[in-house]
């Protein structure tokens, strides 16, 4: 059984900065339009198509704004939860999500990754399931090297690993994910990198130019 956690609790800081500098209306990146649907809906749909049983979306900052496009999402597999403390790090948001899923493999995705295809997510899941010890592997979207990796430098979501790993490592940190992934690999957790299908899969929507690039290529 595979669950998913989608993190959607950030400050939207860089997008706000860009929109302000351009004199544009301030809008949260996750509800910006991407070919007729909000960014976060595109991400959720891809996650659900990847083969997961259920999905937890973790909200924090701007939760009312984001939830306005989620409240009528027509799929009972999606559960919305909220961070108790708004000013927390990504690792804490992810941990909140992991505590609300069933024990087992977990697909971890950032809500601003709408271009990661369900095929790639399914491949991440498949690589974790098929490994000899699914409790000791992080199956991750490769940024450079692929296959079995010797370094976690520069890596982040999306990835698949067992909730046991996340529950062991995340409570000890209040940080971004990369330092935690580096600690995992230094402790002999196996990392396997799956190549992206195309360059769009490697782009997170952080800045307005990221959004325009994805919107034009999507």
**72 pLDDT higher than 90:** no
Residue 203 has pLDDT above 90, yes or no: yes
pLDDT at 212: 97
Q: Domains in the chain, start-ordered, CATH in brackets?
A: 2-217 (3.90.550.10)
Q: Which of 161, 154, 121 is nearest to 139 (CA)?
A: 161
pTM of the model: 0.97
Helix orientation angle between 63-70 and 39-49, rounded to the nearest 10 degrees: 60
Residue 165: Cβ within 10 Å count: 21
**Does residue 151 surpass a pLDDT of 90?**
yes
Q: Which sign, positive or negative, has the C-alpha torsion 126, 55, 8, 186?
A: negative
Measured CA angle at 164 (ends 160, 167), to 5 deg = 100
Rounded CA-CA distance 185/130 in Å is: 19
* Mean pLDDT for the chain overall: 96
- Helix then strand then coil, in percent of the chain rounded to 5, is 40, 20, 40
Number of residues assigned to the chain: 218
pLDDT mean over 195-209: 96
In tens, the pLDDT along 126-146 reads 999 999 999 999 999 999 999
Task: Give the pLDDT confidence score for residue 121 in this predicted structure.
Answer: 98
Q: What is the DSSP letter of 60?
A: B
Q: What is the mean pLDDT of residues 55-59?
A: 98
- Residue 183, pLDDT > 90, answer yes
Partner residues linked to 192 by β-bridges: 139, 148
β-partners of residue 59 are: 8, 82
Helices (H), the chain: 13-21, 39-49, 63-70, 90-98, 118-130, 163-169, 177-186, 208-217
Tens of pLDDT, residues 85-125 = 998 999 999 999 999 999 999 999 999 999 999 999 999 99
In terms of Cα–Cα distance, which of 131, 150, 140, 85 is closest to 113?
140
pLDDT on residue 74: 86
State mean pLDDT over 1-30: 96
Give the CA angle between residues 212, 215, 218 to the nearest 5°.
Answer: 145
């Amino acid at each position: 059984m595979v669950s998913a956690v989608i993190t959607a609790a950030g400050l939207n800081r860089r997008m706000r900065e860009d929109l302000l500098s351009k004199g544009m209306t301030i809008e949260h990146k996750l509800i910006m339009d991407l070919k007729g649907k909000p960014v976060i809906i595109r991400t959720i749909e891809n996650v659900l198509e990847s083969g997961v049983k259920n999905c937890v979306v973790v909200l924090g900052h701007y939760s009312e704004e984001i939830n306005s496009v989620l409240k009528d999402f027509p799929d009972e597999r999606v559960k919305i939860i909220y961070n108790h403390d708004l000013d927390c790090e990504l690792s804490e948001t992810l941990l909140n999500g992991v505590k609300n899923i069933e024990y087992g493999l977990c697909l971890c995705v950032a809500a601003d990754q709408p271009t990661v295809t369900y095929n790639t997510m399914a491949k991440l899941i498949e690589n974790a399931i098929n490994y000899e010890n699914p409790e000791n592997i992080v199956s991750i979207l490769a940024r450079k090297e692929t296959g079995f990796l010797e370094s976690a430098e520069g890596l982040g979501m999306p990835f698949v690993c067992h909730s046991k790993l996340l529950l062991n490592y995340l409570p000890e940190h209040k940080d971004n994910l990369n330092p935690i992934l580096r600690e995992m690999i230094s402790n002999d957790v196996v990392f396997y990198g799956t190549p992206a299908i195309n360059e769009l899969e490697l782009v997170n929507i952080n800045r307005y130019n990221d959004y325009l690039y994805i919107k034009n290529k999507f």
